[in-house]
Amino acid sequence: MRLILVGGFLGAGKTTLLSEAAKQLASRGSTVGLITNDQVPDLVDTAVLARTGAAVREVAGSCFCCNFKGFHEAVCALAENGVDCIVAEPVGSCTDLSATIMQPLKDKFPEYALAPLSVLVDPIRVREVLRNRDSALHPDAAYILHLQLEEADQIVLTKCDSISDAERGEVVSFLRQEFPGILIHEISTHSGEGVKPWLDSVLAAAPAGLRVVEVDYDRYANGEAVLGWLNAVVTMRWIGGLSANWRGFTTDLFGALQAKLREEEREIGHIKALVECSTGVLTSNLTALDDGPQVYEEGALERLNATLTLNARVQIAPDEIDALFRDALKQASYGRVAATITAFHCIRPGRPVPTYRYDSIVA
């Protein structure tokens, strides 16, 4: 069993890369399994990845490190289904994976071919949070982002299609200086640039889990606690005409959420949504306060019945994101959509308490 962990901050591009990696691994002859992870159920990521055709398992309820047993059960369940290569995505606000997942795996399950820990980072976060330090992201959340990169075996700079060559050069040289000795990949999953070399490199028999960093768990816990977490599933019926406009509805929903968050200068980790009807699917992702959402459609989205799954990770208290979501839903639905919330979780992530924590490297 080959095991590849792909970490990185909220919205860095993990699920997008997992989706592409699943396709490329399958074309190389692997039977691929994917593992998603969140504090609460009803994940957009799980639904998105299921569309690749790979076997997907969700570990919900806590992060991999605080539920090592759940993580390992997911690995075993996939193995029983004939999977020989697993790519797993931990929660974006999770760090200390080397000490809490990589070292225990090497120690307890040496039979697994464990790939180097890849940590993805979005160039905008590097620029705003790490380089200029003028981001609205709370310093303790920024601390998590920094730790994630410090403990990486490989740093993967994502979304390289979205920046100029000059900016890319600056970001890479900053990363080299700040995190010396760590291999840096430059990729764009959208254009395909760099994905194959990254995959070749994680498939090579390279040592994994080479760094264990010191972590201040009070700061780490606070960095997670400043983020409000909302997962909702909404059953919807279009009542505004004979043909639905789910794209227009989603645009308005995101517009209403973003306008309010901008007003209050609350940083967005990631707001993502999946709208499914029997003939098509739409995804919408927003990863920064000052950006616009990225929207993708497959098939036709005109059927009158649809389901919305929305996951939001925003720097705001849970009761505030709860109220904000309900208001935005009401606003976007007004006069055209009958919406019923069928599943709802709104939390502040609790203090991370890892199942295992190794403070030295397992050979």
Ligand X SMILES: Nc1nc2c(ncn2[C@@H]2O[C@H](COP(=O)(O)OP(=O)(O)OP(=O)(O)O)[C@@H](O)[C@H]2O)c(=O)[nH]1
- Positions touching ligand X (CB under 6 A) are 8, 10-16, 45, 92, 158-159, 161-162, 188-190, 270, 272, 285, 287, 294
Minimal distance, residue 199 CB to Mg ion, in Å: 18
Rg (CA), the chain: 20
Q: Which is nearer to ligand X, 198 or 249 (CB)?
A: 198
At a CB cut-off of 8 Å and minimum separation 6, what does 346 contact? 228, 229, 230, 231, 318, 319, 321, 322, 325
Least distance from C-beta 229 to ligand X, angstroms?
11
Handedness of CA 299, 300, 305, 309 (dihedral sign): positive
Q: How far is the CB of 180 from ligand X (least distance, A)?
A: 25
Axis crossing angle, helix 195-203 with helix 14-27, rounded to the nearest 10: 70
In the complex with ligand X, which residue's Cβ is closer, 169 or 192?
192
SS3 for 112? Answer: coil
In the DSSP assignment, the letter for residue 291 is S
Instruction: Please say which residue, 102 or 310, places its beta carbon nearer to ligand X.
Output: 310
Which listed option, ligand X, Mg ion, none, makes contact with residue 188 (CB within 5 to 8 Å by class)? Answer: ligand X
116 binds, among ligand X, Mg ion, none (CB under 5 to 8 A by kind): none
Nearer to ligand X, 162 or 307 (CB): 162
Neighbours of 353 (CB within 10 A): 11
Cβ proximity to ligand X, 89 vs 252, nearer residue: 89
- The residue of the chain with the least Cβ separation from ligand X equals 92
Which of ligand X, Mg ion, none lies near 90, with the C-beta cut-off 5 to 8 A by kind? none
The entry of ligand X, Mg ion, none near residue 285 (CB within 5 to 8 angstroms by kind) is: ligand X
- Which of Mg ion, ligand X, none does residue 252 bind to, with CB < 5 to 8 Å depending on kind? none
**What does the block give as tokens for 298?**
């497959």
Question: Where do the H-state alpha helices sit in the chain?
Answer: 14-27, 44-50, 68-80, 97, 103-108, 123-125, 139-150, 165-178, 195-203, 217-225, 246-263, 318-333
> Which residues bind to Mg ion, rule: CB under 5 A?
14-15, 45
11 vs 104, beta carbon nearer ligand X: 11
